[in-house]
Amino acid sequence: MKANGSVFKYGNNVDTDVIIPARYLNTSDPKELAKHCMEDIDADFVNKVNDGDIIVADKNFGCGSSREHAPLAIKASGVSCVIASTFARIFYRNSINIGLPILECEEAVKKIDNGDKLDIDFKAGVIKNLTKNEVYQAEPFPEFIQGIMAADGLIQYIKNNLNK
Amino acid sequence: MGMTMTQKILAAHAGLDSVKAGQLIQANLDLVLGNDVTTPVAVKEFNKIGVDKVFDKKKVAIVPDHFTPNKDIQSAEQCKFIREFAHEKEVENYFEIGEMGIEHALIPEKGLVVPGDVVIGADSHTCTYGALGAFSTGIGSTDMAAGMAIGQCWFKVPSAIKFVLTGKPQNKWVSGKDIILHIIGMIGVDGALYKSMEFVGDGIQHLSMDDRFSMANMAIEAGGKNGIFPVDEKTLAYVKEHATKPHTVYTADEDAEYDEVYEINLAEIEPTVSFPHLPDNTRKITEVGEVKIDQVVIGSCTNGRIEDMRVAANILAGKKVAKGVRVIVFPATQKIYLQALKEGLIEKFVQAGATFSTPTCGPCLGGHMGILAKGERAIATTNRNFVGRMGHPESEVYLSSPAVAAASALTGKITNPEDIA
């Protein structure tokens, strides 16, 4: 799995209420949700984001609610990967379960600026900053989680195991 | 090496003699929970798995509480979708309007969780049941779908932070809410990220079950995977009153390892308020200064229980809310509603000029029943004060106990209950 795109950079504690406000949760259609992604902290995000772009944020990304609508909205908006120093744990699980690639890498977050172009190899955990000509190494996922990601999410993973 | 209370519960549910922090396990579930926002996504995922029934009709609970009574056509459609699923799969614990309540008050009240259980819920405040000595944690819709299908969930065994509570609250207005806000202020909104928050110590005997529910409820606001209390006489009395299913009492080993240990003297805690826009932005009530408010919200899964209703009603009794301030009170369940009615609390609220609503999560998450306009400010007994949480992105939410919220209702600014009584 690879990703390539431009960076939208945010700070600490980006919560699920700003990723997708509850006022839009009367639907679970990812395309509808994507129209309002990040609306309350970056009203322009939905107009500027292109397929493949990458969100980079500091600590505790996705804190707050358990709403899977948050990673769904990000994924449906075209974002190919979220890199953060740390993720809130429910967001972390949800991203893995729905197949939104995420990486934890403090060094990358420190050095990457808004608008930088990145090239990411998930399996190796290697983040290349094409703008700055730098390379950062993210913590690789445990094997078990790689298994879920290789199955394209938890549901297919369970189906595969039920059929064994 | 010894295990924490959480680790012991997880080990037993994974069929293992012992587990250690960081280990990935597959645990059996005693209850899988969802609401009207998260369950529609879970049902769609469940249907993709290809099993035709839920793993155990008694161990799935679906509570439409967020946008109910249905706030618009889309919400009504979502509720209809999960209602039909619940009926088709013969889910025994589906609670419709009239018997429903805010899930995290309702589930313990219905006796669906007991000490030693492992519970997952597609709602972040599922951690509430740690008050009963259970392991319970919030997960997303896909985990809920998988849990409903196979009755299991994968977990990374958490390490823990120990909070030793000593002493007895000296300020009569201090409740569990003030203690947990104090703790979140101390360790930060990611202070317990991925970890268990294990509460121990002599001070716990002075905390009611309602206090403990409020505290465990907000473990997620410190990033915690779960918050958990030891089982004592109060817990067992609660279980006896509400539940019939068997329970198991787990205790942490003497030599269990903790990442950090904090000692908190309850005698030193004061009523505490979280300023916008994070729950860890706390101040003591005496350091709040002049903060005018437009709305007061008393209720939610954090503070919608009968003790919360009593404290607020008695502060408002015989007085009038400040002119121009909107006061919305919402009990968490029908049982609490009825109890408030029998005790004359509703009359006190209404006489004072407050509204008394049916149970719903509505106002807390900016869903309905009390949305804030641009520039407006609310004090709320809820659990989050993120940007836009209760309405317009330029509105503000201050978090407090029911006592502080009720006192503030009388003055129109954030007020120490000490100054009212």
- Which phi and psi (to 5°) does residue B76 adopt? -60, -40
B388 chain-A contacts, CB cut-off 8 A:
17-18, 21, 40
* Angle at alpha carbon of residue B192, lines to B186 and B194, rounded to 5°: 170
- A110 CB neighbour count, 10 Å cutoff: 10
**Subunit contact A72:B41, Cβ cutoff 8 A:** yes
B220 to chain A: nearest residue by CA?
A64
Lowest mean pLDDT among B96-100, B283-287, B402-406, B414-418: B96-100
Contact state of A68 with B140 under an 8 Å Cβ cutoff: yes
Q: Which of A22, A60, A97 sits opposite B190 (nearest CB)?
A: A60
Q: Helix, strand or coil for residue A133?
A: coil
Q: How confident is the model at residue A151 (pLDDT cuts 50, 70, 90)?
A: confident
Residues of A whose CB is below 8 A from B41 = 28, 68-69, 72
- B46 vs chain A: nearest CA distance in angstroms? 8
pLDDT average, residue stretch B287-302: 98
- Which is nearest to B221 in space by CA: A102, A111, A7, A90? A90
- Judging by beta carbons within 10 Å of its beta carbon (0-12, 13-18, 19+), is residue A43 exposed, middle or buried? exposed
Nearest residue in chain A measured CA to CA from B224? A89
A51-89: buried (b, 16+ CB within 10 Å) or exposed (e) per residue? ebbbbbbbbbbbbbbbbbbbbbbbbbbebbbbbbbbbbb
Contact A88 B190 (CB under 8 A): yes
Say what percent of chain B tops pLDDT 70.
Answer: 100
- Could you give the 3-state DSSP secondary structure of residue B20? coil
Q: What percent of chain B has pLDDT over 90?
A: 99
ipTM: 0.94
Q: What is the mean pLDDT of residues B46-59?
A: 96
Asked if A26 has any chain B CB less than 8 Å from its own CB, the reply is yes
A76 CB near a chain B CB, below 8 Å? no
Q: Which of A86, A142, A155 sits opposite B24 (nearest CB)?
A: A142
DSSP B86-123: HHHTT-TEE--TTT-B-HHHHHHHTT---TT-EEEESS
Give the mean pLDDT of B108-128.
98
At residue A106, the pLDDT reads 96
Q: Which residue is closest to B393 within chain A, CA to CA?
A: A40
Q: How far away is chain A from the Cα of B221, in angstroms, using its nearest Cα? A: 7
Average pLDDT, stretch B370-384?
98
Report, as an integer, the average pLDDT of B70-75.
97
For the segment B218-237, the average pLDDT, to the nearest whole number, is 98
Asked if A160 has any chain B CB less than 8 Å from its own CB, the reply is no
Crossing angle of helices B345-352 and B306-316, in 10° steps, is: 40
Q: Give the amino acid at B350.
A: V
Whether B74 and A155 lie within 8 Å, measured CB to CB: no
Min Cα separation A154/chain B (Å): 7
Contact indicator for A78, A49 with CB cutoff of 8 Å = yes
Pairwise CA distance, residues B384 & A16, whole Å: 11
Distances (CA, A) of B348 to A24, B10, B317, B354, B408: 35, 45, 5, 9, 16
For the record, the structure tokens of B140 come out as 């997303």
Task: For residue A15, give the nearest of B37, B71, B386 by CB distance.
Answer: B386
- Report the sign of the C-alpha dihedral through residues B336, B341, B342, B348, in that order: positive
CA dihedral B53, B301, B389, A75 (to 10 degrees): -20
Cβ pairs bridging A and B (under 8 Å): 136
Q: Calculate how close chain A gets to B406, using CA atoms only, in Å.
A: 26
Report the pLDDT averaged over residues B95-116: 97
Show Cβ contacts of residue B4 under 8 Å, excluding neighbours closer than 6 positions: B159, B160, B196, B198, B252, B253, B256, B257, B258
Q: Please tell me the predicted confidence (pLDDT) of residue A122.
A: 84
For an interface test with B, the pick among A10, A26, A67 (most B C-beta atoms closer than 10 Å) comes out as A26
Residue type, B283: R
A103, A127 in Cβ contact below 8 A?
Answer: yes
Output Rg (C-alpha) for chain B, integer angstroms: 20
Confirm if B25 and B155 have CB atoms less than 8 A apart. yes
- Residue to mutate among B66, B124, B226, B382, with most A CBs inside 10 A, is B124
pLDDT at A144: 84
Q: How many CB atoms lie within 10 A of CB B172?
A: 10
Minimum distance, in Å, between the CA of residue A132 and any CA atom of chain B: 30
| Closest to B158 measured CA to CA, from B213, B223, B204, B232 | B223
- Using pLDDT thresholds of 50, 70 and 90, give the confidence band for residue B421: low
Token code pair at residue B59: 């161990």
CB contact under 8 Å between A68 and B393, yes or no, is no
Taking only the tens place, the pLDDT of each residue in A71-130 is 999 999 999 999 999 999 999 999 999 989 999 999 999 999 999 999 999 888 999 999
Single-letter amino acid code for the residue at B301: C
